[in-house]
């Protein structure tokens, strides 16, 4: 429990976001209306991605 957790958590977080993105793409292929549900969280995701890509 004394091991640094910052890197593993960051890696896990990015991995989960990739899985999350792929899951959304899969849903979009099956149901175009799903885009309406995702739209509200899309702006927040874009802000997060912008900050991440500048690193």
Q: What's the rounded Cα separation, in Å, for the pair 36 and 49?
A: 20
Confidence of residue 55 (pLDDT cuts 50, 70, 90): very low
Q: What angle do CA 12, 24, 10 make, to 5 degrees?
A: 15
Question: What DSSP string runs through 2-47?
Answer: -S--HHHHHHHHHHHHHHHHHHHHHHHHH-TTHHHHHHHHHHHHHH
Q: What pTM, to 2 d.p., does this model score?
A: 0.36
Confidence at residue 48, expressed as pLDDT on a 0 to 100 scale: 61
Q: What are the domain boundaries of the chain? A: 6-53
Give 11-39 pLDDT, tens digit per residue. Answer: 777 888 888 888 878 887 777 666 666 66
Confidence of residue 49 (pLDDT cuts 50, 70, 90): low
């Amino acid at each position: 429990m004394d091991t640094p957790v910052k890197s593993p958590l960051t890696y896990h977080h990015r991995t989960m976001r990739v899985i999350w993105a792929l899951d959304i793409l899969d849903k979009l292929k099956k149901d175009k209306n799903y885009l309406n549900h995702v739209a509200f969280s899309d702006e927040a995701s874009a802000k997060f991605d912008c900050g991440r890509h500048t690193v």
